[in-house]
Structure 1
Amino acid sequence: MSVKNNLMGKNKKNILLVANYKSDVGYAWWLMENFWATIAGSFDACGRKAVLLYPEVNVVPEKIVKAKIKVIEHDLSNRSFKSLSCLYRIINENDIGYVYLTDRPYCDWLYLILRVFGIKKIVNHDHLPGERSHLKAIKNFIKSILHRFKFMSCDYYIGVSEFIKKRFVEVAGIPEKKCEFVHNGIRIFDNEKTDYVNRMFGIPEGATIIVSTGRAVFYKGIDTLIDVAGEMARKKNREHVYFLYVGDGSDIDTFKTMVVERGLSSRFIFAGYRRDVSRILPSCDIGIQVSHGEAFSLSLIEYLCAGLVTLAPRHCGNGEAIDDGRNGLLFTPGDVAEIVEKIAFVLDHEEEARRLAGEARRTAVEKFSLEACNERFIALLRQQFI
């Protein structure tokens, strides 16, 4: 094959998958591993192979090994001449014609370089949390031009929620025809109520257990949850309410100190990082997410799947999972008093709590299974890569 054909992308049919973290990082990257394996399996049938770049390779996840994805260590964020030369070699030696990115910039001069290297299509799958301010008119015009003519733009953008799709269009200036969304999905698990958490963490039988999961960092709003626990502890007839936090992270020691200083050690339990979340959640009663902004929260879907009365802030993509008052309850972000009020309502209205829990489970099963997510995701990707 000539250099000219390489640069034009002729005969290149394989797909480059790009990880943003080293190969042994967990948390929500299990979902990305699912997408990568699904891409590999779906496109293998038409003779296209998947190659996965990790910035650092340590232990390769079992799912990636089973999917027979070729793994290469290369940091796409390194823009040095040496690194770009290495990337060019990887693309040509592996006949790469298509690139699937995750949470990468909407505009980047690297995309122009990739096209020069022979890449035909670039898809960017965005899971990044948080709201963004709208662009000023001149900036919006410039970005819309860049996206329209693909100078430094991807060919297609997939968001994990309608909220993200709107962000593509209204904030980033991407033409709507280049944007779509696919809600995240989870593996649906059994939600039979057990005393697993009571036995595991020494919580009294008959206690009401309020659970929250995720990385233990301030962005996730754990300090707000501790404030809520403090308010609940001061109320009469709430001695049976316990809080359980499942997860680990850089701010975990700070949160533990806050709990001790407020005298909540017996009522606010830190479970740490766990692999048995699907057993823990059905043993609880209320699931709460207090993050400052999620694109589309996997934790929220897991609470719904477990059949928990689910509470979440009224912002970002949360309203796409929770219909306030039907299958869960939404609250003003960061409003401790309102959160306490919502919890009190659930505790004092058992029949309504059972109804909310039942609708929560139904929503997860009918709308947010991993199988349904993968099916729609691959359908969109086939439109771009075939």
Structure 2
Amino acid sequence: MAVNGGARVLHVLSSLKVGGAERFVLDLSAVQEQAGDHVEVFSCSSEECALDTEASKQSLNCILSSGDRFRDYKAVWHYFRTKSSKSVLHIHSPFGLRFFVPLLPFLFLLGVRIVYTRHGIAPLASKKWRLIHRFANLFVSWVTFVSDAGKKAFYNTHGWKESKLVTISNGVFVPLQVANIESTKLRIGSVGRMVALKGQKGLINAVSRLDATLREKIEIHFFGDGPERSKLEALALEALNDGQCIFHGMELDRDKVYGSFDVLAVCSEQEGLSLAIMEAMARRIPVIATNVGDSPKLVLDDQTGFLYEYADVENLTKLITQLCEDDELRRSLGEKAREHMIENFSLESANEEYQKCYQG
């Protein structure tokens, strides 16, 4: 277990809108509080969003931007200046870095340790971002990445010393008990923003290819929203039976989300270390995912789920058929998926790694 140093940690997010990085930060904050740190979250947006309510439920103080950058700087400066224990500014997005970059030298002189986590893999190669990162390099102690691909892209673009770059995989909460709604059908879930990159139409097309008898045994449950939703709804009406594809929209209750399906399908063209995959696996849900990005770290093919090549709808159809026809296989994959999360992707392990950055 991590031995936290009683640090005062201010996590910085772009906003409190629902997203994988934002969810992870709230979960990490809860673990850090339990381990002895004093933790608060600063949102660079003045807008109250869905996760603000979630943070309140876990008694985590979230500070929204006042809309006045100078006033925000003053508040953060005084927050750290009046604290005698070890202080950490932990920034979780490029926008957060840009937001606070003028304040970094002053916090650095106060002895505040600055940690910058990249949850994505975009290289940010424009002149503006290069200048921001060049300046921040003088004051940031560690840059952490949730994937080696993100670390490589950052190093190749910005050239920071490798000695201050480290990969720390996100962790996931593993519930002791899992709520599950009984169903006579195989329920396939999709969780995430509805954008073209996520390839959700592939799931609808794959199910539509099943023979009629097998197709009757399938339900699709979409959780999330986005610009592609209307197209997906139209495709579902055209390709599937009425009521076979359910669009739930945004849902914050994770027990409700993951209790609504038996298999998670991730059809993305690109994918980082997907929190949706991790949360499903932690709840004994096997995953079918595209063989892209960091998904193979999570979905061990034929062990915790199945991998297939992006846009290979024919293979996706075969994998769905296999899981629909073999209940025991589905249960076995789910058990191994949960074990994989406990052994390799726990929140406690992630916290231990971040504590090393906070303390040294």
Instruction: Tell me which interval the TM-score lies in, with the shorter structure as reference length.
Output: 0.7 to 0.9
**Aligned match for 1:126, one of 115, 118, 122:** 118
Alignment correspondent of 1:63: 55
Confirm whether residue 92 of structure 1 aligns to residue 77 of structure 2.
Answer: yes
2:32 and 2:338 map into 1 onto residues whose CA distance is 29
With over 3 angstroms needed to count, the CA separation of the structure-2 counterparts of 1:121 and 1:355, relative to structure 1, is: same
Structure 2 unaligned runs (5+)? 1-6, 82-86
Alignment correspondent of 1:259: 236
1:225 and 1:169 map into 2 onto residues whose CA distance is 35
Alignment correspondent of 2:4: none
Alignment correspondent of 1:201: none
> Are the aligned partners of 2:97 and 2:116 in contact in 1 as well (CA < 8 Å)?
no
- 1:314-350 alpha-carbon deviations (Å, 9 max, x no partner): 1111111122222211111222122112222333455
Confirm whether residue 382 of structure 1 aligns to residue 359 of structure 2.
Answer: yes
Alignment correspondent of 2:306: 329
Confirm whether residue 175 of structure 1 aligns to residue 161 of structure 2.
Answer: yes
Alignment RMSD, CA only? 3.7
Confirm whether residue 290 of structure 1 aligns to residue 267 of structure 2.
Answer: yes
Alignment correspondent of 1:231: 209
- 1:266-308 alpha-carbon deviations (Å, 9 max, x no partner): 3222223334442553563321111232321111112212222
> Are the aligned partners of 1:19 and 1:102 in contact in 2 as well (CA < 8 Å)?
yes
Alignment correspondent of 2:26: 33
1:155-194 correspondence runs (5 A): 155-190=141-176, 194=180
> Are the aligned partners of 1:311 and 1:331 in contact in 2 as well (CA < 8 Å)?
yes
1:1-386 correspondence runs (5 A): 15-22=9-16, 25-28=17-20, 29-38=22-31, 44=37, 50=40, 52-58=42-48, 60-61=52-53, 63=55, 67=59, 69=61, 71-74=63-66, 83=69, 85-96=70-81, 98-104=88-94, 111=101, 114-116=104-106, 118=109, 120-128=112-120, 150-151=137-138, 154-190=140-176, 194=180, 196=181, 198=183, 205=184, 207-232=185-210, 234=211, 237-282=214-259, 284-383=261-360
With over 3 angstroms needed to count, the CA separation of the structure-2 counterparts of 1:21 and 1:347, relative to structure 1, is: same
1:352 and 1:41 map into 2 onto residues whose CA distance is 37
Letter in 1 for 2:45: P
Q: Please state whether the residue corresponding to 2:94 is helix, strand or coil.
A: coil
Give, in angstroms, the shift of residue 376 of structure 1: 2.9
Q: Please state whether the residue corresponding to 1:224 is helix, strand or coil.
A: helix
Greater shift, 370-379 or 359-368, is seen at: 370-379
Number of equivalent positions = 342
Which TM-score applies when normalising by structure 1? 0.73
Letter in 2 for 1:175: K
> Are the aligned partners of 1:21 and 1:54 in contact in 2 as well (CA < 8 Å)?
yes
1:191 and 1:39 map into 2 onto residues whose CA distance is 22
> Are the aligned partners of 1:287 and 1:309 in contact in 2 as well (CA < 8 Å)?
yes
Letter in 2 for 1:211: G
Structure 1 unaligned runs (5+)? 1-12, 76-81, 199-204
2:199 and 2:13 map into 1 onto residues whose CA distance is 27
With over 3 angstroms needed to count, the CA separation of the structure-2 counterparts of 1:301 and 1:66, relative to structure 1, is: closer
Q: Please state whether the residue corresponding to 2:320 is helix, strand or coil.
A: helix
Alignment correspondent of 1:10: none
Greater shift, 169-178 or 222-231, is seen at: 169-178
With over 3 angstroms needed to count, the CA separation of the structure-2 counterparts of 1:284 and 1:87, relative to structure 1, is: closer
Letter in 2 for 1:229: V
With over 3 angstroms needed to count, the CA separation of the structure-2 counterparts of 1:41 and 1:86, relative to structure 1, is: farther
Give, in angstroms, the shift of residue 264 of structure 1: 3.8
1:268 and 1:342 map into 2 onto residues whose CA distance is 19
Q: Please state whether the residue corresponding to 1:209 is helix, strand or coil.
A: strand
- 1:188-244 alpha-carbon deviations (Å, 9 max, x no partner): 1256685x263xxxxxx2x22211212233332222222222223x56544312222
1:247 and 1:197 map into 2 onto residues whose CA distance is 22
2:14 and 2:114 map into 1 onto residues whose CA distance is 16
1:143 and 1:238 map into 2 onto residues whose CA distance is 51
With over 3 angstroms needed to count, the CA separation of the structure-2 counterparts of 1:162 and 1:242, relative to structure 1, is: same
Give, in angstroms, the shift of residue 101 of structure 1: 0.8
Q: Please state whether the residue corresponding to 2:166 is helix, strand or coil.
A: strand
Which TM-score applies when normalising by structure 2? 0.78
Give, in angstroms, the shift of residue 56 of structure 1: 0.6
Q: Please state whether the residue corresponding to 1:34 is helix, strand or coil.
A: helix
Q: Please state whether the residue corresponding to 2:219 is helix, strand or coil.
A: strand
